[in-house]
Amino acid sequence: MEFVDTTPTQKGGVFIPSEALMINGRTIEEQISGYQTLTVTGRGPLPKKITAETPDGRDGQRFIEAYYTTRSIVVAYQIIADTAEDLIAKYIQLATILGNNEFTFNFKDDPDWYYTGTVSATSDLPVGVLAGNGSFTITCSDPHSYSTEKRATITNSGTVSDDCTNAKLLELDYTPSETASTITITNNGFKMSFSGATVNAGDTLSIDPIAQNVELNGVDKTAWLDFDSDFENFPALGDFAVSPDGILSITYKKERT
Domain check: are 133 and 32 in the same one?
yes
pTM above 0.75, yes or no: yes
Residue 8 lies in a domain: no
Domain boundary (100, 118, 143) is at 143
CA nearest to 42, candidates 84, 74, 14, 8: 74
Domain boundary (143, 166, 195) is at 143
Domain check: are 74 and 40 in the same one?
yes
Domain check: are 92 and 170 in the same one?
no
Domain with residue 119: its CATH number is 2.40.30.200
Domain check: are 30 and 126 in the same one?
yes
Q: What averages of pLDDT result for each successive group of 10 residues across the chain (257 residues)?
A: 47 78 95 94 91 86 91 95 91 95 95 95 83 94 93 94 88 93 91 89 91 88 87 89 94 91
Residue 7 lies in a domain: no
Residue 99 lies in a domain: yes
* Per-residue pLDDT at 109: 92
Helix or strand (DSSP H, E) at 187? strand 183-187
Give the span between the Cα atoms of 144 and 141, in whole angstroms: 9
Q: Is the CB of residue 154 less than 8 Å from the CB of residue 247?
A: yes
Q: Which residues pair with 66 in a beta bridge?
A: 50
Residue 33 lies in a domain: yes
Helix or strand (DSSP H, E) at 75? strand 71-80
Residue 2 lies in a domain: no
Count of the separate structural domains present in the chain: 2
3-state secondary structure 10-35: EECCEEECCCCEEECCEEHHHHCCCE
Count CB neighbours of 143 within 10 A.
17
Residue 82 lies in a domain: yes
Residue 180 is part of which domain span? 148-256
* Per-residue pLDDT at 163: 85
Domain check: are 222 and 118 in the same one?
no
Per-residue model confidence as pLDDT tens digits over 35-71:
999 999 999 888 999 999 988 878 888 899 999 999 9
Residue 14 lies in a domain: no
Domain boundary (109, 143, 177) is at 143
Domain with residue 207: its CATH number is 2.60.120.860
Residue 3 lies in a domain: no
* Per-residue pLDDT at 2: 41
